[in-house]
Structure 1
Amino acid sequence: MSGASPAEIVRFAAGAIIAHPLRSGLTSLGVVIGVAAVVMMTSIGLGAQKRVTDTISGLGSNLIIVTPLQPRTAGGVMGGAGSSQSLSDADTVAIQRQVQGAAAVAPSVTGMAQVTADGANWNTSIVGVTPDYLEARDLTVASGRMFDDRDARQGRKVAVLGPTVVTQLWGEADPIGKRIRIRGAPFEVVGVLGSKGQSSFGRDQDDLILAPLETVRSRIIGRRIKADNVQTIYVKAVSEEELATVQEEIDAVLRAEHKIQPGEDDDFPTQNLASILEASRAAIGAFTVLLAAIAAVSLVVGGVGIMNIMLVAVTERTREIGLRMALGARRRDVLTQFALESVALSLVGGLIGLGIGLLGAAGIAAIGNWPFALPVWAIPVALGFSSLVGLVFGAYPAWRAARLDPIEALRRE
């Protein structure tokens, strides 16, 4: 009998796997778990990265945020938000005049208050801003208009509402031109913001009211801050390439405004969202790789299981191997058959694990309101690695089978 054809080798390998379904299933179990774990961990890590990216990007593009430094008490404890008042209108003007790469400079103050209108009431954030706030934070007006500088100079009590506030006060009705009361003061609704939805961390970005900066300072926040203080200054750079330069210029301008001497610490932390985003991506990316590497250990364990079972199979099928070789099968035919069995078991386990991993990742995303994401390389890498595991760990059993002496194999009981 001459050497077996490739089709016959594949048929022998498939027949051996099908003849022992339980053993084949248990052999593949380690690979199933390993591939499922790698896919799920990779998806979770990428979903976390997407969540952080969406949250930071939702604050605005090319954005630099300037806040007062929170002072420390005598015991070294940081003060609460807004407890420091180191930023003022003069700082805003200085940045507008001296920082060339600033496309928009928007100071803001924020307070919480109950809003009433037509018998309904709602507790929300009241944000005092200038018209540039829309450009700085990448906001849009869906209906009506944004108040302008003239409204602010005239001290008009006008407001632009977020969609959530509109829904809570009037449902589906058009609020433009209607009156609301904030801490007893009447405000005219002149616009409604475009919806931004919930942030990745579940905060409703549409639950707010924008009103002129000076009006909010005097009518809503009152004595909690000085007459010319601001809590945050948002600066939008003209481009992402200019972010670092604009941040350096802001630091220089404010140090001069605050008369901070060389060697002294700033009292105005500036945050470049692009650098924060990059650092977050790098940290989460490293964590994802670590999770995937830990999960990949399961694949190695599964490979060891395949090798053990294949060695047992060689022992059990010694007479079969001897008979085939006595009838003309070549050593390479036996080697190929056992290698194919090992790779097939591993690849089938990889496919099953891939399906379980995708379902598990989607389930976690649905239950935890987590973004479902999977890199394009995850599927081919998982299947390729599982096949490689089968090939590597099946090589020794296959070699053992091919090295059997036909006569000794036929004598074996």
Structure 2
Amino acid sequence: MRALRPARLSAADVLRTGAAGLRARPARVVLSALGIAIGIATMISVVGISASSRAEVQRRLDRLGTDLLVASPGTSMLTGEKAAFAPGAEKMVRRIEGVERSAATGTLSGTVRRSDKIPKEDTGGISALAASESLLATLQGEVRVGTWLNAGNGRFPSVVLGSVAAQRLGITRGGEQVFIADRYFTVIGILAPLPLAPEIERSALIGWDAARTYLRFDGRPTSIYERSSDAAVSRVRDLLPRTIDPRNPQDVKVTDPSAALQAKAAATGAFTDLLLGLGAVALLVGGVGVANTMVVSVLERRHEIGLRRSLGATRGHIRLQFVTESLLLSTLGGAAGTVLGSLATTGYATSAGLPPVVPAWSVAAGLGATLVIGSVAGLYPAIRAARLSPTIALQTA
């Protein structure tokens, strides 16, 4: 006689058998799946919000550019005093191959106040700067109100205010006057915000010639701004000190204003790793909850297990049934967590004005984690169920 072989369950039979246990206890299923859902939602929302923040920073970098460099005098190694640039140093910068624009500002003595009635000590943190005509184009800035300095108005006592300076002075339109040093200047313009040049936002800008005439400016720039092609930034950075001050290039300090935004993106990523760890802990707790649910399920369903075994189900069938049930339970929680995490990311990004980004890899990783947790959480209960003797299971039911 041919040996009898146990029947093989089709995929549909396995799913139907595994789902039967879930349908019998819906309340317990929902509570167990909720633990997985919270863990997955936490991880996806953390990754999504971080990716949205980085996307916003990258969008700002793309708009503002990473090709702006600022040169300023450092401390002289010979005298220990602050170095000084020669007049017209910004013009020499334009000779560097790859430099597209350059401009300069010079620090002026005297305070900026709303009127001469205000004490000199009450400056509001506003500086007076002489500005070359090419400064606005070099910074890729915009005039929000009025007009920018040019060859005509730059010779007269006129001033353009940075966005923060205008706010602190309480000025919203052109034609008003501010008191700089010992005389009044007429406001002809107010700039839009300049994220890469916060020092300009907090300044009152006066034409180069007017600064010489009315404020005894010596014509020496204290900051030189330059824009170059992206491919030339590194080379220009190396050449700037030797071009501005060939005799003492070590006294020239070159900075990259966009570095702060790049550091912000990196810091966001580091903070994300910490929150991902917390999400992983929540997911692990959810996995423990699934394992506990499956162990209790095995204890409660001994009669069912014994009956199936007496009707011909093998130990492999029983193991497969409970592993499938655990996988379905985890997958249900993972799917719910994916939806919740995506909605949380979209809601937060929309309210904060960020581009909503939910990386596909985070969704795939979340669902993959649920399958692994479901398999591990259901393995021990499945093995325990398969080891039950049919006769003992029926007797103790």
Equivalent position to 2:319, from 314, 318, 335:
335
Q: Any conservation in 2 of the 1:43–1:372 contact (CA below 8 Å)?
A: no
* Aligned length in residues: 374
Q: Any conservation in 1 of the 2:350–2:356 contact (CA below 8 Å)?
A: no
Shift of 1:301: 3.2
The DSSP-based 3-state class of the residue aligned with 1:230 is: coil
Partner amino acid, structure 1, of 2:89:
D
**Could you tell me which residue of structure 2 aligns to residue 212 of structure 1?**
207
**Could you tell me which residue of structure 1 aligns to residue 112 of structure 2?**
113
Q: Any conservation in 2 of the 1:181–1:187 contact (CA below 8 Å)?
A: yes
Structure 2: gaps of 5 or more residues: 1-5, 116-122
Shift of 1:247: 0.3
Inter-partner Cα distance in structure 2 for 1:328 and 1:295: 43
The DSSP-based 3-state class of the residue aligned with 2:73 is: coil
Inter-partner Cα distance in structure 1 for 2:365 and 2:330: 14
Q: Any conservation in 2 of the 1:109–1:217 contact (CA below 8 Å)?
A: no
Cα 1:398–1:374 shift into 2, 3 Å: farther
Per-residue displacement from partner, 1:121-148 (whole Å, max 9, x unpaired)? Answer: x977655322221222112457875433
Per-residue displacement from partner, 1:88-123 (whole Å, max 9, x unpaired)? Answer: 5343233233x222111111246873458xxxxx97
> Is residue 20 from structure 1 mapped to residue 3 from structure 2 by the alignment?
no
Q: Any conservation in 2 of the 1:334–1:401 contact (CA below 8 Å)?
A: yes
Inter-partner Cα distance in structure 2 for 1:170 and 1:308: 66
**Could you tell me which residue of structure 2 aligns to residue 231 of structure 1?**
222
Per-residue displacement from partner, 1:251-281 (whole Å, max 9, x unpaired)? Answer: 2224524x35xxxxx3332123466655554
Inter-partner Cα distance in structure 2 for 1:52 and 1:205: 21
Equivalent position to 2:239, from 245, 249, 258:
249
**Could you tell me which residue of structure 1 aligns to residue 357 of structure 2?**
374
Cα 1:405–1:29 shift into 2, 3 Å: same
Map 1:96-135 → 2, pairs under 5 A: 96-97=94-95, 99-109=96-106, 113-114=112-113, 127-135=129-137
The DSSP-based 3-state class of the residue aligned with 1:269 is: strand
**Could you tell me which residue of structure 2 aligns to residue 139 of structure 1?**
141
Per-residue displacement from partner, 1:314-338 (whole Å, max 9, x unpaired)? Answer: 2221221121232344544433332
Partner amino acid, structure 1, of 2:364:
P
CA RMSD in angstroms comes to 4.2
**Could you tell me which residue of structure 1 aligns to residue 120 of structure 2?**
none
Equivalent position to 2:378, from 389, 394, 397:
394
TM-score (structure 1 length as normaliser) = 0.72
**Could you tell me which residue of structure 2 aligns to residue 187 of structure 1?**
186
Shift of 1:293: 3.7
Inter-partner Cα distance in structure 2 for 1:65 and 1:353: 47
**Could you tell me which residue of structure 2 aligns to residue 119 of structure 1?**
none
Inter-partner Cα distance in structure 1 for 2:200 and 2:280: 39
The DSSP-based 3-state class of the residue aligned with 2:252 is: coil
Inter-partner Cα distance in structure 2 for 1:188 and 1:364: 40
**Could you tell me which residue of structure 1 aligns to residue 36 of structure 2?**
31
Q: Any conservation in 2 of the 1:64–1:234 contact (CA below 8 Å)?
A: yes
